[in-house]
Amino acid sequence: MHPIFSKRAWLAGYLAAAGVGAALLAVLLRMAGALPWTKAGELAVPLALLYAFECLTPWYLCRALPLGATHPAKIAVEHLGSAVLVTGVWVAAAQGLGRVFDASAGALAVTPYLAAVGLLLYCLSVALHYMLLAMRASQEAAIQTRDAELRALKAQINPHFLFNSLNSIAALAVKDPPQAREMCILLSDFLRRTLGMGEKQSISWEEEIQLVGAYLDIERIRFGTRLRVEMQIDGACGECQVPPLLLQPLVENAVKHGIATMVEGGTIRVNSRVEEGLLQVFVENGYDADAPAPRRQGAPQGLGLRNVRNRLETSFGSAARLTTQTEDSVFRTEMILPCQTGR
């Protein structure tokens, strides 16, 4: 089926355009064919409708002869052939209708005009159909790329985090076996949650908080007393349905570019609440403004932050935002997004 039939509005628009064509055709039949207005109208309406639908046929031919994959000569010959055929049918129909409506002389007189207009419109239609196909292809490609990106993002687990955690387990294995076991369980819990999220479009904020909790428990074992955490999660946020892995990358940033750069470590504060249907999330941590460049928080924004921002944009457009600010060696991230519940 031609895509024009997929939406009523498109079909109505097309028929309106055919109406304009019919009016122009009536003028042509009146002027060049010397027919009275009534006869001209009687002839023009069915002819315009017929040609309007004839001009949809290139859809099939254009799809069968994709640009680039087909030899240009073949495209030209095939389309030219069908243009002549389609125009021929139209001109013949005009003669037939002329006889039916007792206006053969008039119909015959406009034949050269009809042939010229028919060929021209057909070629125009071919060009428009190729444009339509190209637009569709690029739209599909964009959607596919975005889907792939989302899948990759959701499955992202920082390998260094993994290797450092395994190193901690190796260290604990002899000195503190119960804690080594604890770490294995925490790490498995974190991995299972993260991997599971790759499949989901949305999760509850509660699940995200649990994931972040597992992540921070692991990092606390690695960093010892250097990492301190204060979480304040308003109970009402737990129900919000949100895209997965929005908070975890922010907290990972806070550890990697904040706490890990400080000799004495610091505190990560996570705060979230719902206000007027918006989920508000704040993450705050200290950092060393004099840390070696690649790790310093602030000026160059990390990949994690950019990913979160892109995904918010994809899911909510301008309804969500992510802002960061640095002040006196404190890095603050504020994320606001619509809280959708009960789905």
Partner 1 sequence: MPNGALKPSEKLRVAIVDDEPLARQLLREYLDADGRVEVAAECANGFEAVKAIAEQQPDLVFLDIQMPKLDGFEVLELIDPGVAVIFVTAYDQYAMRAFEARAVDYLLKPFGEERLWKALDRARERLAEGRMAGAFPAARAELAAAARPPEQQLERVVVRDGAKVHIVPVAKLDYVEAQDDYVCLHSEGKRYLKQQTISALEGQLDPRHFVRIHRSYLVRLETIARIEPYSKDSRVVVLTDGTQLPVSRAGHARLKELLGEAG
Residues forming contacts to partner 1 in the complex (CB under 8 A) are: 159-160, 163-164, 166-172, 174-175, 221-224, 260-263, 288, 290-295
Structure tokens at 279: 């989920």
* Helix 205-223 × helix 159-175 angle, to 10°: 50
Residue 71 or 175 with smaller CB distance to partner 1:
175
Q: Rounded to an integer, what distance in angstroms lies between the CA atom of residue 243 and that of residue 340?
A: 11
For residue 187, the minimal CB distance to partner 1 (Å) is: 13
Residue 224 or 235 with smaller CB distance to partner 1:
224
For residue 256, the minimal CB distance to partner 1 (Å) is: 9
Residue 72 or 159 with smaller CB distance to partner 1:
159
For residue 189, the minimal CB distance to partner 1 (Å) is: 19
For residue 229, the minimal CB distance to partner 1 (Å) is: 17
Residue 101 or 223 with smaller CB distance to partner 1:
223
**Spatial contact of 214 and 190, defined as CB atoms under 8 Å apart:** yes
For residue 342, the minimal CB distance to partner 1 (Å) is: 42
Q: How far, CA to CA in Å, does 286 sit from each of 309, 314, 329?
A: 22, 30, 6
